[in-house]
Chains A and B, each alone.
Chain A
Amino acid sequence: MKPHRSPLGLALLGLTAALSLPPGTWAADRADLARPEPAPLPFPLVARFENFGEKDGLPSHKIHCVLKASDGRLWLGTGNGLCVRGADGRFRRYGPEDGLSHPAVLSIAEDPRTGDLWIATMRGLSRLSGGRFTSFTQTDSGLPNNVVYGVAVVDGTVWAATPAGAGAYNIREKSWKIYDHNNAPMEEPWCYAIAPGRDVVYIGVWAGGIVEHDPRLGSFKAYRDPDGDFQFQLTPDSGPIADITSWVAYDDGILWQATYFGLSRYDTQEATWRTWVQDKTPLVSNFINSVFARGHVAWVSTDRGACVTDGTTWATYAVDEQGRGLVRIDRPGGAPETRRMATRLADGFVTAIWADDHEAWFATSNGLSHAVFANQAAVAANP
């Protein structure tokens, strides 16, 4: 086998299974640090990270998800409760004693019409409305299973991804529908993520690729790994990279699939696929926990750092063995540039990201990071 390796791929080849990057792997070139950007990037660049951990009031080192609500408040799903960051910067925790159905919070969605929060936990789905929690479980509602990996609110319907199917709760009618292997193109009903699309809902299915559902028509379409095997990817850019979907995200006509085998992108207008794997492309790791879509840009959470990409240009944030922050920029046709950062991600094991044009928040397995964006020519250089 003679894989096509990008310079970045070659640089990353020596990465070990350690928690962070080994010395020299991403050695920053000091000469590059002060060099102005040759061209604007298609996404914001992080200038510095501000990190928060248990010492700052977070109830757990493990942060599963992050959402900045429309009112500007930041919500976190942690291994030990739901958290909100107040205007004073302090974190307030909500747990089962407040009505949350389980302390492990995996996903949070906001109802854009009411501002209510829907909270996916490992034992039920909770709703936070007017400061009060209401919970739904598989024994007192139509929720298919208590382990809720993903939640989304689409046109008055709350979608919950569970290992026994996708539950759809009509808020106004207070009625449930379940989509599983009996009525949707899934071999097994193991659903792990929900993403609202344009007039459709995308369901990330474990071993079932991605299921597209049009609620108006009641129709389904399945996107599956064309080679049908977990042991390899036969050809790149031919379809979903794997049938084991860990997350899906959609914005502006672009659907992203996160897997533990790499990253896939589907252009719904052109009906074309692109795929990325580590070592052969700028993707830093095949193990992707989740992906956040904004416009044509994806914010990719991996076990080895975070990538930002529009599919052509990449910025990757990682932590080296000495615990220093690094950013690597990969432009089409150009040599990758590695820069040392003055600050670093709270941890390289990134579980989820939320971003807009002004800032980004990174949930990690060891704390929370706030990314402050910079003027691209003024990336902090602090070796």
Chain B
Amino acid sequence: MRTLNCLLLAFAAAAPAAPLAAQAPAAGPDSARFIYATPGETYPYYAGLPREFWPFNAVEPYERFFTTRMPFRGPGRDYPNPSDLKSLRIGLLDSPKYDANWERSVRTREGVVLAFEEANRSRRPGQLPFELVEREGIAQWGGAGNLAVDFADQKVLGFLGTIDGADAHVALRVTLKTEVVIINTSDPDPTLTETNIPWLLRVLPDHRIEEARMADTIVRRFGCRRIAILREGDRYGRLGVHNFMNFARRLGCPAAQELLFSPGNPDIPHQIATIKDARPDAIFFIGEPADIGRFARQFRLAGIQARFFGADLLMDDRFLKEAGDAAEGAMFTYYFDPARSDPLWVDFVARFSRRWGHAPDAYAAYAYDGAQVMLHAIDAAGPNRWRIRDQVCNLDYYHGVTGWMQFDGTGSNIAPVRLVRYEHGNRVFEPQAEFTPPAAGGL
């Protein structure tokens, strides 16, 4: 995060245990792509954002959390490996079929499957193959909890998933009881990793990272003062704008309006009329790309000239298709430039395209990276869930196909995101140097 401060608080407190030495030759990514925690290490506070973005930033709170990583202090690391294994089982929690996240879940699966196929092709004699245990999500509250229990019953060594924030939270709580580590590759809910349950790593930068960048852009760069927010009326929408509203307010520009819509609603005349009356100079959207595109077009037809802003879902073709000319100038955050020339990325795109017949998106790419971290951890730690947890949750930096990741005290990737704008129907990425950790010569 070159443009943002990485404040290191000098807290002398408990630190994660040092990673275990590799017990078997690692398959997949080179070990140089993994940088692990060191004893006594402290982490950037509040996702490494500048102090002006912090809540109550003018006072010192009684206690800060997540300046170190919550260790797992329970037993298990010395338990003998199971002797009857025929494969190394890893779970994948998909979204419910036909859910709003289903297409993203399919792309996530493609990234995971590719990682498994490649890893299994490179197994050496005597090494057990990796086996993917898939479970389709259950479209009801708590359903992910049942599936997380099922994963434990299936004796998986860890699992990947899920996109939906509620599912991810529910599954995480189960893992504290079942002691099976999760790598989340696709849920942007900032609160997911703020639970202090030491069985989770998230490789996707969350909404907090995106929204700080966007609030800074809207208020400081463009000088907007009347911000309207239009978001989905659900948990994704609520959490999707929560930090943005706070950040904008802390920069001296509280949102003028926050209006909600139901996903799939064809038109929203009342919201549009209300927002028009407020004469906004910026509108920040959170929702499904087709909905946002459709509403962006309706805003322009209503004569609203405010700038449009949003998060990563505006990258989706459905936004452009629905918005048409209204997309012009819309600005959003995204995780990386798909046109980047990093050899890891270029090679991954080629292999992915050969396997699936189309290019990967962010969901596929982060899923591939998350799967690589999991597979590497299992090879390094052996088939012991507690040692695998140590490998996964003691990671500080990882160089994936999506670029270098930096994990904070909550175990969430806080690598900087990119700014993108639509120009003549094209996505134009603003220039930004690739993030590189200090140990790899960056910052």
Q: Which residues of A does B touch, CB under 8 Å?
A: 1, 3, 13-19, 61, 64, 102, 104, 106, 122-123, 144-147, 149, 162-165, 180, 188-190, 192, 206-207, 227-236, 244, 260-262, 277, 279-280, 285-287, 303-304, 347-349, 365-366
Contact = CB atoms under 8 A, between A and B. Distances in A.
Contacts of B45: 231
A235 B46 CA distance: 18
A348 B76 CA distance: 13
B169 interface: yes
B17 A17 contact: yes
B196 interface: yes
Contacts of A280: 62-63
Nearest to A19: B73
A104 B174 CA distance: 11
Nearest to A13: B12
Interface residues of B, number: 49
Contacts of B59: 234
Contacts, number: 158
Given A61-B75, A188-B166, A190-B170, A104 B177 contact: yes
Contacts of A18: 17, 73
Contacts of B141: 144-145, 163-165, 180, 188-189
B146 interface: yes
A104 B149 contact: yes
B140 A164 contact: yes
B197 to A, nearest CB: 7
A232 B64 contact: yes
Contact of B174 (A17, A122, A232): A122
Interface in B83-128: none
Given A64-B177, A122-B174, 9 more contacts: A16-B71, A19-B74, A122-B178, A230-B191, A231-B194, A233-B65, A279-B13, A280-B63, A349-B75
Given A16-B17, A147-B174, A230-B191, A163 B142 contact: yes
Contacts of B71: 16-17
B169 A188 contact: yes
B61 interface: yes
B62 A303 contact: no
A147 B149 contact: yes
B427 interface: no
A17 B14 contact: yes
Contacts of B14: 15-17
A296 to B, nearest CB: 24
Contacts of B146: 123, 145-147
A365 B152 CA distance: 17
Nearest to B63: A233
B195 A260 contact: yes
